[in-house]
Amino acid sequence: MSETEAVPVTVYTREDCSLCVVARETIEETAADLGVAIDLDMVDVDEDPALAEEYGERVPYVLVDGHPAFKYEIDERDLRLKLLAAS
């Protein structure tokens, strides 16, 4: 991936998910700290029956550069490594 391309980050979430709020903040702050551009896509699983069935209560579920990365909580050190590797 070139330096000008943003790293795609997808977070499967749902309404009233406090861990999802923390995940979003951690992703945004870590990317900013690293100077890595991200394309953050927050996907509400309850808006799609197939996603609701697939992920259920397992949110937040995070993909970094299309690859499964985290479930429930984000390890900031691992996130840094994944963002740098994908940028």
The proportion of the chain whose per-residue pLDDT surpasses 90, expressed as a percent, equals: 91
The predicted model scores a pTM of: 0.91
The CATH superfamily holding the domain 7-86 is Glutaredoxin (3.40.30.10)
Report which of 70, 13, 2 is spatially closest to residue 36, judged by C-alpha positions: 2
pLDDT in tens, 34-63: 999 999 999 999 999 999 999 988 999 999
CA angle 46, 67, 44 (to 5 degrees): 15
Map residue 47 onto helix, strand or coil: helix
CA distance 35 to 26: 14
